[in-house]
Amino acid sequence: MRGRGSGVAIIGCAQSQVERHASVTLGALTVDTARRAIDDAGLEVGDVDGFVTGALFPTAGAHAVEDGVSTVTSNWLAMHLGTNPRYAAGFQGYGQIPGAVALAVNAITSGAADYVLFHRSLYNPPGSYHGNPMRGAPGPLQWTAPQGYFGPIAMIGLPYNEYLQRYGAKRETMAKVVVEARKHGARIPWSYWHDKPLTTDDYLAAPMINDPVCRYDCDIPVDGAAAFVFTSAERAKDHPHRPVHVLGYAGGAPTTHRLPLHWPLDDIMGIGGETARRLWEATGLKAGDIDVPQLYDGFSPFVYFWLEVLGFCPVGQAHGLVEDGGIDSDRPGGLPVLSGGGALGNGRMHGVPQMLECYLQLSGRAGPRQREHANVGLACHSSPHFGGVVAYMSER
Amino acid sequence: MTELTRPVPMPDERSAPYWEAAAGHELAIARCQRCRVLTHPPDTVCPHCHSTEPDWVWDRVSGRGAVRSWTVIRQSPLPGFAADVPFVLVDVELQEQLGLRLIGRLMDGPDASLRVGDPVTLAFEDIAGGVAIPAFALGVTT
């Protein structure tokens, strides 16, 4: 695919309302959203012969994982749409969105399927999202839970503090990341945070959870579903909307044996740098070519890490770029890294807002939020060292 | 209803020597008999030389090291920590081997002044009868 695109494009999509708790089950929400995406692409359910997702329910809690309730797999969705596809698969690993996009691309280019429905469904259980009443810590948990190192907020607290200490960054600067995400989320009708922007004062007054991480550095758990239809670039010409092509993708995973949830900053930046090199090699792109660089923000420090590994600024200088207004996308020259609201501005949709913003902007379907220059986009997901990124290009 | 207690480690065949040493307030780290490199926690395959027969032996180590990062836990998703918060967890690189990292409670309290590179020594949290969790304290000697 080097520099020439994957030969696969997105031809339609749908996004549910993002709510704290939906009035229907996650399975029903996903079936409705999938039907709308298939219709948006100008297809019937029977035309879709491939299904992909990454179905992880990303909780540290003791919640049951039940298909159609707390998670939705490809096979569950196909069955409940009443179809029997040639191909159904799930990506197992981190960076569920780029991982599952790669499954869709490979299914189409190999001939395993002609029209692939990609979906991602996220669930907010009743009660505490990560709360876990364990009395004993077995297996990998024995090394970290007994001392209280548990769950993703402590996980991100350590490398975020390493960043602050190493580069002399101020915690207060992160307000600009979260306020930017919420500013865009407030403009998005389906967002949980629609019409609810955040002020810097609100951010600074929020309770600390695991220093230096405060409440608003974390995305809020939600119920929501999104679906996208992929097909070959050749078939994509015959559908109602302007195709958005998958130019390439890259990912990475830790190479060093660590304690559970231990993500030292050097791991994030080292393996993350390799993820970026793979992306540029696969696509022939460079940072300056990207009109819509949608960075992952499930925890706010990821925005710094992605800015640096992708080369939007030198390593150690993302906080300075942000402090100077460099990611305020309403300013001329401001990088639109959170123009889709991200996870902080929509709710815990796990990389969906980044992918959706790329699709809407590059297909010219972003409505009043449409940006003038939107030909090349990146959709990042998870950590640069344990996740991935997809590059999209518009038909123009 | 008994009061909620902190999760206790559940030793298994591979980890039992670690917890036995900790109960006696000693820190033991697994060493691969093929490549002699220390690994924490021990894996089914040595992550350094990739031997499938690492035959881990447990070395007593000093527990002295340098702080690489820390976080102040003010809310915990686990039971039994309500009376403990806020507390500090430190990410420590042990002096025995470059890159050998442990995470534990800093026993100096939540207001301890910390900088990257600060030296720490070994400490323990005794959380139940015969159950001790390796931890750290600021300073160069015990």
Q: What percent of chain A has pLDDT over 70?
A: 99
Interchain proximity B78–A148, CB inside 8 Å: yes
Average pLDDT along chain A = 96
Q: For position B2, what pLDDT does the model report?
A: 55
- Residue B1 pLDDT exceeds 50: no
Per-window interface: B 35-54 vs A, CB < 8 A: 39-41, 43, 47
Q: For position A3, what pLDDT does the model report?
A: 47
Interchain proximity B7–A211, CB inside 8 Å: no
Token pair 């976080």: residue = B71
What are all long-range contacts of B37-44, with beta carbons under 8 Å and residues at least 24 apart? B37/B97, B38/B96, B38/B97, B38/B100, B39/A257, B40/A143, B40/A259, B40/B100, B40/B101, B40/B102, B41/A140, B41/A143, B41/A259, B41/B15, B42/B14, B42/B15, B43/A257, B44/B14
For residue A134, which residues of chain B lie inside 8 Å, CB to CB? 7, 78-79
pLDDT-derived band at A181 (thresholds 50, 70, 90) equals very high
Q: What percent of chain B has pLDDT over 90?
A: 95
A378-388 per-position pLDDT tens digit: 999 999 999 99
A280-290 per-position pLDDT tens digit: 999 999 999 99
- Residue A345 pLDDT exceeds 90: yes
pLDDT-derived band at B140 (thresholds 50, 70, 90) equals confident
Give the best residue of B20, B45, B73 to mutate against chain A (max A CB count within 10 A).
B73
- Residue A2 pLDDT exceeds 60: no
A300-340 per-position pLDDT tens digit: 999 999 999 999 999 999 999 999 999 999 999 999 999 99
Q: What is the ipTM of this complex?
A: 0.97
Burial A122-134 (b: 16+ CB within 10 A, else e): bbbbeeebbbbeb
**DSSP letters for A210-237:** EETEEGGGBPPP-BEEEEEEEEEHHHHT
Mean pLDDT across A123-131 = 93
Q: For position B3, what pLDDT does the model report?
A: 63
For residue A149, which residues of chain B lie inside 8 Å, CB to CB? 89, 103
Residues with Cβ within 8 Å of A173's Cβ and at least 6 positions away in sequence, in order, are A319, A322, A323
Q: For position A89, what pLDDT does the model report?
A: 98
Cut 0.90: pTM above it: yes
For residue A252, what is the enclosing H or E element? Answer: strand A244-252
Token pair 């031997």: residue = B51
Interchain proximity A150–B72, CB inside 8 Å: no
Of A135, A138, A150, the CB nearest to B5: A135
Contact A336, A371 (CB under 8 A): yes
A209: contact with B, CB 8 A cutoff: yes
Mean pLDDT across A229-252 = 97
Torsion sign, CA atoms B44, B49, B54, B60: negative
A133-160 per-position pLDDT tens digit: 999 999 999 999 999 999 999 999 999 9
Find the closest chain A residue to B3 by CA distance.
A135
